[in-house]
Structures are given as C-alpha cells and as structure tokens.
Amino acid sequence: MAIVKETVLEVNHYTDRLFHFKTTRDTGTRFRDGEFMMIGLEADGKPLLRAYSVASPNYEDYMEWFSIKVPDGPLTSRLQNIQPGDEVITNTKAVGTLVMDNLKPGRNLYMLATGTGVAPFMSIVRGIETYERYERVILLWSTRRVEELAFRELLETLNEHPVWGEISQGKFMFYPSVTREDFENTGRITEAMFSGAVYEKLGLPPFDKEHDRAMICGSMEMNLEFKQYFKDELGCVEGSGNSPGEFVLEKSFVEK
C-alpha cells in the first residue's frame, strides 16, 4: 500500500466536536465518489491512520475531509490541531460500499446520514455521474444541533452554485433535521422517512423499490433501523460490487 504525504490547504472548525479540512491530492490517488481511504499523521515515527470518507468529488485536484474530534482519540486528538501547511499522510487506494455502481439504475437517489456520516455524500452530491444516473438526488442529514449542520449553506444553495449548480441541474434536494433544538425540521430522519414527512415537505412520491435507491451512513442505530426498514419492510436487496441492489450502507462507519 503506497503512503503519500499531502499538504493541508485549509482548516475550518465548526464546533468543539467537528472540523473540516482540505488537502492537496496526489496525482496517483483515484477514488469513486462515496469511497473512503486511510488518512492520518506520523506519530512517534509510525503512521497513525484511520478510515475517512473523501468528502470532495473525484474531479477536483484537492481533497476534502470532515472529521469528528474525539477527546482521547488516538488520531483525532492530534489531527484537530493541524494548520495550513502541515502534512498529513494517506494511502492512495480508496474502497467502500457507498458507490453508485453497487446500486441498480433508478429514478430518485436518497442519501441518509447522521453526523459525520454525511462525508461520503458531500462527494456524491457534487459528483457528475450522480446527476447522469438519477432524476432527483435527495440528502437527508440529521445532527443534534444546528451548528453541527456544517455544510448547510453550501447544500441549501448547491443548485445555484456556479459550478456545482451546473452539475446538479436543479435536481438536488436537501432535508436537514436536528434532534436536540428547534429548527425547520426536527427529529430523526428515520422518523421523517417512516412517517412520510420528508415526501410531503419535498413534494416527492413515497420510496418505491422499483424506482428509488438509498444509501445509508451514520450511527449504528440509524444504520440498523434503516436496514430493517428497507430489507424487511420494503423487501429491498442490499447491493454490493458483484450484485447491485436497491440500497447500500456503510457498516463500520462509527462502531468497529
């Protein structure tokens, strides 16, 4: 596995638990939108790497990352202190299940995220192929507090962005929700899907496995609830590289 050094270009802190950073991109680094790679720091002369979803789309010559800060976390207790000009290390091989190749073609693509689970979807919602494959691209993202909806402004104005708006062609829809304070949408996104609140708000037909596809990434609890819903209640098939299905989820995102 090749390990390369990347230079930190920009760092943005949102809360005491969340930050985003941008790095250079090695010319040998290839990924599909939605995939993850190992990234980290040299610590005590050894590589200290963790899995991270690439949050930028694959046509950009830089890479974006969205990170938790775990107070005693071996990597993030250090990584949260990076500054522009510092070096991070990554491998150049990306993998992951949250890729469109693992889904059958369809009409509407739903991306369902909690917390930092939105990272792979930040890549997909700005991806070129995404809008070639789907008529509507819908992101549901919940956090505990409004300030944790770090990319809210970007997402709310994505269709008007000079570059990403050209790519999304007005097909992108965003449903943010928070669980612990007042906001335009409150509560868990599982509930918003199960009750139909999201369809009502966005003016969409209910999820139909004949036409619609879903990607899931976030807390274990949400993963399991959605897995049960799509598989057991709606009769959807989980997709993989060998056999595309109607939904995919990142199994090991938070708990290992």
- Closest to ligand FAD by CB, 81 vs 252, is 252
Segment contacting ligand FAD by CB under 6 A, of 8-16, 23-31, 183-191, 248-256: 248-256
Segment contacting ligand FAD by CB under 6 A, of 44-52, 102-110, 127-135, 238-246: 44-52
Q: Of 63, 119, 138, 236, which lies in the binding site for ligand FAD, with binding defined by CB under 6 A?
A: 119
Query: Cα dist. 170→79, 100, 203, 208 in Å?
Result: 36, 20, 15, 22
Q: Dihedral (C-alpha) 65, 68, 73, 77: value to the nearest 10 degrees?
A: 70
Segment contacting ligand FAD by CB under 6 A, of 75-83, 178-186, 187-195, 234-242: 75-83
Asked if residue 115 binds ligand FAD (CB under 6 A), the reply is yes
Identify which of 97, 29, 19 has the alpha carbon closest to the alpha carbon of residue 62: 29
The b/e string for 49-77 (b: 16+ C-beta within 10 A; e otherwise) is: bbebbbbbbbeeeebbbbbbbeeeeebbe
Give the burial class of 161: count Cβ atoms within 10 A of its Cβ; 0-12 exposed, 13-18 middle, 19 or more buried: middle
Asked if residue 73 binds ligand FAD (CB under 6 A), the reply is yes
Residue nearest to ligand FAD (CB): 73
The CB-of-16 to ligand FAD minimum distance in angstroms stands at 13
Distance CA 245, CA 237 (A): 5
The CB-of-113 to ligand FAD minimum distance in angstroms stands at 11
Asked if residue 220 binds ligand FAD (CB under 6 A), the reply is no
Query: Which residues contribute to the site for ligand FAD (CB under 6 A)?
Result: 36, 50-53, 66-68, 70, 73-77, 115-116, 119, 250, 252-255
